[in-house]
């Protein structure tokens, strides 16, 4: 864990006034304002060190876990011509995408959409399977609608 304490008074709470990533996208430079003495200082945080929190439907948060995406994809892609490597690349791509946007919190539904976007291009059957689990279709009508949308798009 990086020390983000105020270098002047060592208070450990601050407000971020500006964030930008460095040119190589590995570090985030943040201007912070100390909540105690009000002085400003700069911190450099490695993107890989910043945990991404996933906000679940019930507003609780958990650490982003790439393995969870991989496991969901393995189920969706069962008996489909998709390799483990493709699945892992897809999950990695999503993680990178979140990091590059410097998000520290992301809604679980947003991750679901990201997975579906990518899966749609990869394999239609897996996509529908995944979507059915992810969106928790309430009834068959919604499910059929989803399939019809796919068909229309492919025409």
Give the nearer residue to Zn ion in terms of CB position, either 11 or 44. 11
Give the nearer residue to Zn ion in terms of CB position, either 8 or 44. 8
Are the CB atoms for 9 and 36 separated by under 8 Å? Answer: yes
SS (H, E, C) 67-101: HHHHHHHHHHCCCCCCCHHHHHHHHHHHHHHHHHC
What angle, 0 to 180 degrees and rounded to 10, lies between the N-to-C axes of helices 124-134 and 140-154? Answer: 150
Are the CB atoms for 128 and 146 separated by under 8 Å? Answer: yes
Give the nearer residue to Zn ion in terms of CB position, either 38 or 81. 38
Structure tokens at 100: 């590059």
Contacts to Zn ion by CB under 5 A: 6, 8-9, 11, 34, 36-37
CB of residue 42 to Zn ion, shortest distance in Å: 13
Beta strands in 4-145 (DSSP E): 14-21, 27-34, 40-46, 53-55, 61-63, 105-107
Give the nearer residue to Zn ion in terms of CB position, either 6 or 128. 6
């Amino acid at each position: 864990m990086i020390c983000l304490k105020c270098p002047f008074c060592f208070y450990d709470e601050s407000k971020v006034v500006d964030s930008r990533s460095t040119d190589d996208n590995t570090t985030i430079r943040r201007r912070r304002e100390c909540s105690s003495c009000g002085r400003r200082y700069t911190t450099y945080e490695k993107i890989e060190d910043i945990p991404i929190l996933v906000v679940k439907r019930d507003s609780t948060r958990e650490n982003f876990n790439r393995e969870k995406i991989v496991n969901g994809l393995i189920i969706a892609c069962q008996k489909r011509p998709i390799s483990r490597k493709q699945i892992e690349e897809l999950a990695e791509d999503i993680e990178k995408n979140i990091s590059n946007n410097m998000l520290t919190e992301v809604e679980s539904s947003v991750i679901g959409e990201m997975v579906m976007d990518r899966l749609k291009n990869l394999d239609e059957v897996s996509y529908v399977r995944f979507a059915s689990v992810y969106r928790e279709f309430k009834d068959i009508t919604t499910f059929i609608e989803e399939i019809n949308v796919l068909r229309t798009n492919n025409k």
